[in-house]
Amino acid sequence: MDIKIHKLEYFKKWLILGIFIGIAAGVGALIFYYAIIYFQGLFLGRIAGTQLPSPVGEGNIPYVPGNYILIPVSILVGGLLSGLIVYKFAPEAEGHGTDAMIDSFHNKKGKIRSRVPIIKTIASAITIGSGGSAGREGPTAQITAGIGSFLSNIFRLDDNERRIAVLVGTGAGIGTIFKAPIGGALLAIEVPYKRDFETSALFPAIVASAIGYSIFGSIVGFQPIFGYYLSSFNPLNLPFYAVLGIACGIFAIFYVNIFYYIRRLFKSLKFSNYVKPMIGALFVGFIALIFPEVMGVGYGWVQILYNGNLNSLPTFGLPLLAILLLLPFAKILATSFSIGSGGSGGVFAPGIFIGASVGLLFGILFNHISPSIAVSVAPFVIIGSLAFMGAAGKIPISVLLMVTEMTGSLQLLPAAMIAVALSYLFSGNHTIYGSQVPTRSDSPAHYGEYNKPILANMIIGNLPLVDLSISQDSKVPEARKLIKTNRVSELPVISTNGDVRRVVGMVSSYDLHMAKSSTIKPIKKTSIDCIKKEASARSALKFMANNSITWAPVISGNNYIGCITLNTINNEYNKRLKESNSSL
């Protein structure tokens, strides 16, 4: 009965907290969403007269090129302002916010300074609004995670509860801004790890994501981002989706490596951090002169690819096929320069665009191979985007749910399952979220929960052994000399039969001092246990304490192989203790 009451209190508590976090996430996502629109008008609109396209679920606004020569100016100004704001007031707000949230969860007890959500909102809205290649999910994750951390202080939650609140805020924010509340809630428990889930956050994440989505949708509408996918699913296309999944997994490795190479490059530059985002923005501006598709969040461009309106893509006289082939590479470079230079923005939305452009290329290829089967590129665009991010972000389950919410259909779910599984497999351990750890047992947040005590984890067979034994047929003076040499007061006594050596007893210095015989055999003690090589150091210490000695005979099967000493265990223990402390 007490357990049931305890569980009920847990759910009551997190239901209330989930509601509060969900309300804050919904409001925070709305502020960020409209801040991006405001700064797009302020920078791209006023400087270059450019209007970026938007997807069906956000008004379906067409692309207006404007004076594209001035686009680099807009992006440059945005990069400069973003860098100044971030590094002046909250340096931890630089880069892609989801990774900062993951780092806070694992290594900082979920603590995020209360100023971070405000700085992240302004800096990221400027980066994206000025034309920088960045997503809004990362900033939203850090903004709403910061709100979760702030509410934890108000409600006086402990460190573990604060970590959960941070994840709940993240899930609510992403589920809200993507209009994908189920996928957002699952992403919250999946994104901290490469191959595990933080299940304790699932219930409040569902509550908060539902609340945040309801608030956000009430203002901007509930239509899925890319509209409703109405075509029927053709199972004959599954082999095509499998190939696409493999390609996305391999391409995700390229994305991760390029992104972190450019990030390391900017870290090594001797320039001030204040101006590094401006330098990155300059490169993005030049890329955008040829590929304006790299600007902003990119969902409007994904909608164009999804609809197959390829003739509406700006080509500036270049062959359309050349633009399509180079587009994913251009987006990878633009995103790496925008965010890797220290700018503020997310990597999820750019990943969606990259995957969509890869999916488009394969959809066109498959149409040429088998036009009677692959009749539309739309499903390949969507599946490509999700398979790519499932691999690059190590979030395969989340994106599977997102496919149903972002397209308003279950039709593509089987294809997504095949493609995402293969992309995740072929991408290996490469992840765009560098703060992820493999499993819960690898997280400092769970230190001690999964790890055995050090002594219990030290296996005797893996430690250095010494041979302190003496044959039962040896002379007493020889035994006395061996005790003196090894600075022990007892020795294990063995009998040898061919290659087999068995422990048959123990002899002490006192026994040797009182000995009347010339050999060991008559004076040895006949009862002594042995430690198997598979035993732990803790078992060996217990053995030593019970027998009042500083060593333990070790056997493999029934064959004596040496002794483990108290000194050896102490040295190895101190070494491992130092290593575990340095990893915290």
Q: Where residue 403 sits, what CATH number does that domain have?
A: 1.10.3080.10
pLDDT at 5 over 50: no
Q: Which of 420, 446, 472 is the last residue of a domain?
A: 446
pTM for this entry: 0.77
Q: Which two tokens stand for residue 398?
A: 């989340």
- Give the integer Cα–Cα distance in Å for 189 and 521: 66
Are residues 442 and 477 located together in one domain of the fold?
A: no
**Shared-domain flag, residues 292 and 399:** yes
Radius of gyration (Cα) for the chain, nearest Å?
32
Phi/psi at 433 (nearest 5 deg)?
A: -100, 90
15-44: per-residue pLDDT in tens?
988 999 999 889 989 999 999 999 999 999
Assess whether 441 and 467 both reside in one domain: no
> How many structural domains compose the chain?
2
Regarding whether 366 and 273 lie in a shared domain, the answer is: yes
| Model confidence pLDDT, tens digit, residues 347-385 | 988 999 999 999 999 999 988 887 666 567 888 998 999
DSSP state for residue 346 in the 8-state scheme: B
Q: How big is the CA angle at 228 (ends 224 and 229), to the nearest 5 degrees?
A: 130
Question: How large is the average pLDDT for residues 171-188?
Answer: 90
**Burial (0-12, 13-18, 19+ Cβ within 10 Å), 470:** buried
Q: What is the pLDDT of residues 140-169, one digit of tens each?
A: 888 888 888 888 888 888 888 889 999 998
pLDDT of residue 122: 92
How many CA within 13 A on the CB side of residue 248? 44
> Looking at residue 459, which CATH number applies to its domain?
3.10.580.10
> Do 442 and 520 have their domain in common?
no
| Inter-residue contact 302 to 356 (CB < 8 Å) | yes
The pLDDT tens digits for 80-139 are: 999 999 999 988 888 777 888 888 888 888 888 888 888 988 999 999 999 999 988 878
d(CA 380, CA 460): 55
Is 83 in the same domain as 67?
A: yes
Which residues make Cβ contacts (< 8 Å) with residue 581, sequence separation at least 6? none
Backbone angle region of 95, left / alpha / beta, with phi > 0 → left and psi within -120 to 50 → alpha: left
- Claim to verify: residue 350 and residue 481 sit in the same structural domain: no
Cα 351 to the center of its chain, rounded Å: 15
Amino acid at 122: I
Nearest CA among 347, 344, 366 for reference residue 355: 347
Among 446, 467, 502, give the residue marking a domain's end. Answer: 446
Nearest Cα neighbor of 292 from 70, 78, 68, 36 is 68
More confident residue, 422 or 139: 422
How far is CA 102 from its chain centroid?
7
Residues 110 and 134 in one domain: yes
* Domain final residue, candidates 446, 470, 498: 446
Q: Which domain holds residue 557?
A: 454-582
337 shares a domain with 476: no
Whether residue 49 has pLDDT greater than 80: yes
Same-domain status, 139 and 250: yes
- Kindly state whether residues 226 and 209 are assigned to the same domain: yes
Q: Both 211 and 94 in a single domain?
A: yes
Residues sharing a CB contact under 8 Å with residue 125, sequence separation 6 or more, in sequence order = 32, 35, 36, 38, 39, 139
